[in-house]
Structure 1
Amino acid sequence: MDKLAEFRHGLEETWHSLGEGWRQLRDRASEALTRFTPVNRSRSSPEDTSSPPALAANWGLLAGDLYEDGEQIVVRLEVPGMVKEDLELEVREDVLLIRGEKRVEQERGNGRYRVRQCTFGSFRRSFQLPAPVIAEKARAKCSNGVLRIELPKEARARGRRIEVRSG
């Protein structure tokens, strides 16, 4: 009976560990989970395969980081295969909006896809900004599939050191 109890205990611990792992993955990825809406463009010829096949994924992950220091807020977003012309940025009050379009990249030839996990189409991501920023002085750069946005904080959001004097 002791062996059965040990087995049950080990199974319960394994099940709990798996459940906790899935919860952590869900929590971490929930903001990165992004809906891609297919862009409807009329085809110029029957050979034009620029639009994604019906079985292409409509949801994908656009992982991002938000970093804050005393002077600025930095947002990094992974946007593989995209260039600056594919992206549009806007600050509305305390939210950074990122819109874009990931275009279809298909292999040409006689083969056919067996697995289709890449997402294509237009998307929208938003980041809640932890402090007021000066949107007019923001800078953005897209390089090697990473979009980096630097948003200088407003002076009132930076804080101010107060010297304590005696007497």
Structure 2
Amino acid sequence: MLDSLKQAKKNLSRGLNRTLDHIAEGWRELVHRSSDALTHFTHGKREVATAADRYPVFPNWSLLAGEVEETDKEIVVRVEAPGMEKEDFEVTVDGNMLYLKGEKRFERATNDSTYHMMERAYGWFQRAIPLPGEVPGDKAEASYTNGVLTVRLPKLEGVKGRIIPLFDK
């Protein structure tokens, strides 16, 4: 009986270690792929909600997933930010950085409900997105459609890579 308990402990330990390895691997991939998209949301002074209020406790972190695409003529940045209005954003370009600030507001349709799950973050946020080169910020155009903020940044005129020929000495 003692041997079977030792074997069960060994099997349980092995299974637990495998599970923890899978969790750690998933966490590392999530952080690696989305570390820049992981955005901190801050809340102003909030009163502590009582059970009678039935307000959820908001997460402080959420993903604002994005992409930066470059063509010969422009750099296009797209960031997913559902549930906002275009007036909720402030977009700034400085050199080769795009700065995005905004507020995602919590709006409740009714006060007589109870939340059982809350994964969406609300509040103020800011995010810095590095661009592959400097752009003229005064020529940038931004739009917000279907929950996606799109910023089009024309490249500077005359700033193009060129092939440099190699010569023998």
TM-score of the pair, normalised by structure 2: 0.74
- Cα distance, 1:86–1:40 mapped onto 2, change above 3 Å: farther
What do residues 53-77 of structure 1 show as CA deviations (whole Å, max 9, x unaligned)? 4721111111011111211111000
**How do 1:115-134 and structure 2 match up within 5 A?**
115-134=117-136
Q: Secondary structure at the match of 2:58?
A: coil
Determine the structure 2 residue equivalent to 1:3. none
* Identity percentage of aligned residues: 42
Separation in structure 1 between the aligned mates of residue 130 and residue 113 of structure 2, nearest angstrom: 44
Give the whole-Å Cα distance in 2 for the aligned partners of 1:133 and 1:139: 12
Counterpart of 2:148, as a letter, is: V
Task: Structure 1: give runs of 5+ residues left out of the alignment.
Answer: 1-6, 43-48, 163-167
Equivalent position of 1:65 in the other structure: 67
Do the aligned partners of 1:63 and 1:78 also contact (CA within 8 Å) in 2? yes
Of the three residues 98, 101, 106, the one matched with 1:104 is 106
Which residue does the alignment assign to 1:165?
Answer: none
- Paired residue for 2:43? 38
State the Cα RMSD in Å: 2.9
CA deviation profile, 1:36-94 (whole Å, cap 9, x unmatched)? 1113599xxxxxx9xxx472111111101111121111100001011110000101122
| 2:80 alignment partner in structure 1 | 78
CA contact (8 A) 2:62 2:121 kept: yes
Tell me the amino acid that sits aligned with residue 33 of structure 2: R
Q: Which aligned pairs between 1:152-163 and structure 2 lie closer than 5 A? A: 152-159=154-161
For structure 2, the residue ranges without an aligned partner over 5 or more in a row are 1-10, 48-52, 165-169
Q: Corresponding residue for 2:28?
A: 23
**1:56 & 1:79 partners in 2: Cα distance?**
17
Distance 2:19 2:118 in 1: 32
The TM-score, its normalising length taken from structure 1, stands at 0.75
2:7 paired residue number: none
**How far, CA to CA, are the matches of 1:143 and 1:39 in structure 2?**
28
Work out the CA distance in 2 between the residues paired with 1:112 and 1:54: 8
Superposed CA deviations along residues 103-132 of structure 1, whole A, max 9, x for unmatched, are 112230422112121111110011111111
Report matched runs for 1:129-148 at 5 Å.
Answer: 129-148=131-150
3-state SS, counterpart of residue 155 of structure 1: coil
Name the amino acid aligned to 2:27: W
